[in-house]
Chains A and B, each alone.
Chain A
Amino acid sequence: GAGVSQSPSNKVTEKGKDVELRCDPISGHTALYWYRQRLGQGLEFLIYFQGNSAPDKSGLPSDRFSAERTGESVSTLTIQRTQQEDSAVYLCASRSIAWRGGNEQFFGPGTRLTVL
């Protein structure tokens, strides 16, 4: 079946502009995560959505970052007034919680954001 998809695959923007990144999770996966991966570094948790519960926004680095998800479908990550330090790959992952135990996350290919 279809995996997690993300768009765009690459985004180049100028400092100060807003960007919107999109994630389409695997159908039926109620849990959705956003991560940031800077060049040569590990994954930095940004935000978590689970169904209609309040999202865990504890990883968002500043109030310039926000994310939305309608129900159990598409999610968008918005970065306002982009800065050069926002340049990174933004990864989305989804997970089924049908078995609450140890289900793994499935990752999308990522969006590479470059802020000039």
Chain B
Amino acid sequence: AQSVAQPEDQVNVAEGNPLTVKCTYSVSGNPYLFWYVQYPNRGLQFLLKYITGDNLVKGSYGFEAEFNKSQTSFHLKKPSALVSDSALYFCAVRDQSNDYKLSFGAGTTVTVRA
């Protein structure tokens, strides 16, 4: 079985401040982990993924995420948030023994105020 939890429905930060969106996962084996962003009335856009190797993954638009196996977490971070980062963010996981099915978290709405 595989699942993802995003414990915060909403995250509010001021522009220029660090942004963190939390994600924890549960898999029976080793995970593939993904972050997607969804802007209003748009589909999901891929941000970054962890497959193997370096625990710190860098992705699009200045985002990065750190894979922490002991804490089963994959938090998304950005050192300095922009108003344009305001969107809905989804974490997703796939057990490596599972060929295709992703499990998505419920999503976290990020609001960056000017």
| Contact between chains at B104 and A109 (CB < 8 Å) | no
- Inter-chain CB contacts under 8 Å: number: 50
Decide if B43 touches A43 in the complex (CB within 8 Å).
no
Which residue, of B42, B49, B102, has the highest number of chain A Cβ atoms within 10 A? B102
Band of interface residues on B:
20 to 34
- B36 to A, closest residue via Cβ: A107
Contact A107 B49, beta carbon cutoff 8 Å: no
Residue contact B100 to A43, C-beta cutoff 8 Å: no
- Complex contact A41–B106 (CB within 8 A): yes
Interface residues on A, range: 20 to 34
On whether A43 and B32 interact (CB within 8 A), knowing A4-B43, A91-B43, A101-B51, the answer reads no
Q: Chain B residues with Cβ under 8 A from A95's Cβ?
A: 100
Given the known A-B contacts A104-B46, A109-B43, are A43 and B99 also in contact in the complex, defined by CB atoms under 8 Å? no
Residues of A within 8 A of B44 (CB): 43, 91, 93, 107
Q: Of residues 87 to 116 in A, which have CB atoms within 8 Å of B's CB atoms? A: 91, 93, 95, 97, 100-102, 104-110, 112
Residue of B nearest to A58 (CB): B101
Distance, CA A95 to CA B102, complexed state (A): 12
Residues of B within 8 A of A (CB): 32, 34, 36, 41-46, 49-51, 90, 94, 96, 99-102, 104-107
